[in-house]
Amino acid sequence: MKLNVFFLLLLILNIGYANEDSTFVKKIYNEALVKGEAYNNLRVLCKDIGARLTGSAEAAMAIEWAENLLESYAFDNVYLQEIKVPHWERGTKEAGWIINAEQKISKLDMLALGGSVGTGGLIEGEVIKVESIEELNQLSDQEVDGKIVFFNRPFDQKMINMFKAYGACVDQRWAGTSEASKKNAKAVVIRSLASNTDGHPHTGSMHYEDGVIQIPGAAISPNDADDLVEWLTKGKVTLRMEMDCKTFADVTSYNVIAEFKGSEDDKIITIGAHLDSWDVGEGAHDDGAGVVQCIEAFRILKKLGYRPNHTLRCVLFMNEENGNFGGKSYAEIAVENSEEHICAIETDRGGFLPMGFDVVGSDEQLEFIREITGDLKPYDLLKFNHGYGGVDIGPLRQYFPTMIQLGLNVNSQAYFDFHHSAADVFETVHQRELALGAAAMGAMLYLMDRNL
């Protein structure tokens, strides 16, 4: 009998604890949806500062903006973490034309790939189309010599998750230029990594292998890629292009950090997004949305008077797009300072409708996440599976292999219409979807702090 009473008491206490959680999660959502500040903060970041490539004046202004905003919310601690970052500039001239067998000319919508060398004036070469690096490698060196290689593999439309479709194509952008250079190609153009057919070229990072001659790489819009394919079926096509992008010496930059001090210990839970963006559009979905969601999650916990058990950190990383020196440095500095990191949560998939969180961790850790997130079901956060955390928080796991990492999972259908292109502007972000993502980040941060 006594034992039964004991268990009854335990049950009541448990229910009380659970009710407290569901009530608090409700408060987080109410604040985000009714009095949210994320949308207006995103408007300021996108419209008053705009695109903010690492090393640019706009990136420096975004750092200033973020630090001031975080300070205005009076968190326990706001500071800049100094890091070294690469500095690449697109330059002014960026143009391409195709000329078909009948000498008809068509101008291309083209963007240099991030990190590419310039062309050193106007260059010209016959176009040779391949669908993959494997197909390129099956060609003889003579077939490629002096030509401009066109990588044309599009997204697989049969895929449901657009991040997977992107992942299946991204090697063309990242490695295609070096692979073509090994066969003495003059330059590379790729079909933009986009889910739809549109007129925007989509840039993104590429890298040069050591010891390989550095040739220019550019992306053309899906529409132009379709035209080029069409013209190639009718005969020889020549491509002319000119770009004066270049890489400068590394510069000093900063991750921007805000903290809530833990009341029980100094173990750290990080939420993060990246403050830098590509230099076209406004970096609204990538990753302005994530930046304002992290700030909003922190603002709401502060406003609701929450005192965390562990130390909570909001980290706005620099340089995710072309080097990830923000993420790498954050992890290295954590080790230097003998910090203990137990969890990191990233939002970097656009300000779209949230669906759950990807979990990086063991089967037991995934089970634990599923157990503690019952209170998120009423908010349609239903997907909790093994998956991907994020680029910025990724390096932490090298040093803290048992930590849990979470990536906000969103509806991925529209993201690659905007990603790394001039179309990624504030107007394409939906206010409620953005706010729901901020609330999801706040609620997840709260639940991890309570349960870890």
Applying CB under 5 A, which part among 23-31, 125-133, 283-291, 427-435 lies near Zn ion?
A: 283-291
Q: How far apart are CA 158 and CA 165, in angstroms?
A: 9
Position 276 contacts Zn ion (CB under 5 A): no
Shortest gap between Cβ of 54 and Zn ion (angstroms)?
A: 12
Q: How many Cα atoms within 13 Å fall on the side-chain side of residue 223?
A: 10
- By C-beta, is 326 or 442 nearer to Zn ion? 326
Of 290, 296, 258, 269, which Cα lies nearest the Cα of 391?
290
Of 347, 339, 345, which Cα lies nearest the Cα of 360?
345
Position 286 contacts Zn ion (CB under 5 A): yes
- By C-beta, is 242 or 286 nearer to Zn ion? 286
Shortest gap between Cβ of 283 and Zn ion (angstroms)?
A: 8
Binding marks (x or -) toward Zn ion, 104..143, rule CB under 5 A?
A: ----------------------------------------
Shortest gap between Cβ of 391 and Zn ion (angstroms)?
A: 7
- With contact defined as beta carbons under 8 Å apart, do 134 and 178 qualify? no
Of 261, 292, 316, which Cα lies nearest the Cα of 449?
261
Shortest gap between Cβ of 390 and Zn ion (angstroms)?
A: 8
Q: How far apart are the first and last CA of the chain?
A: 33
- With contact defined as beta carbons under 8 Å apart, do 151 and 58 qualify? no
Shortest gap between Cβ of 274 and Zn ion (angstroms)?
A: 6
Cα four-point dihedral sign 401, 406, 411, 412: negative
Q: Are strands 105-108 and 187-191 parallel, antiparallel or unpaired?
A: unpaired
Shortest gap between Cβ of 392 and Zn ion (angstroms)?
A: 8
Position 279 contacts Zn ion (CB under 5 A): no
- What amino acid is encoded at 80 in this protein? L
Q: Can you list the alpha helix ranges (DSSP code H) found in 133-169?
A: 133-138, 141-144, 162-167
Task: Name residues contacting Zn ion, limited to 305-364 (CB under 5 A).
Answer: 348
Is 134 among the residues known to form the active site? no
Of 164, 162, 169, 155, which Cα lies nearest the Cα of 198?
155
- With contact defined as beta carbons under 8 Å apart, do 52 and 277 qualify? yes
Neighbour tally for 247: CB within 10 Å: 18
Q: How far apart are CA 294 and CA 353, in angstroms?
A: 16
Q: How many positions of this chain bind Zn ion (CB under 5 A)? A: 3
- With contact defined as beta carbons under 8 Å apart, do 272 and 314 qualify? yes
- By C-beta, is 224 or 286 nearer to Zn ion? 286
- By C-beta, is 348 or 358 nearer to Zn ion? 348
Position 287 contacts Zn ion (CB under 5 A): yes
Position 375 contacts Zn ion (CB under 5 A): no
- By C-beta, is 31 or 287 nearer to Zn ion? 287
- Per the listing, tokens 């509806």 go with 411
Applying CB under 5 A, which part among 73-81, 202-210, 282-290, 366-374 lies near Zn ion?
A: 282-290
Shortest gap between Cβ of 117 and Zn ion (angstroms)?
A: 24
Applying CB under 5 A, which part among 14-22, 233-241, 285-293, 370-378 lies near Zn ion?
A: 285-293
Query: Residues 320, 321, 339, 346: which is the catalytic one?
Result: 320
- By C-beta, is 185 or 297 nearer to Zn ion? 297
**What are the catalytic residues?**
320
Provide the binding-site residues for Zn ion, judged by CB under 5 A.
286-287, 348
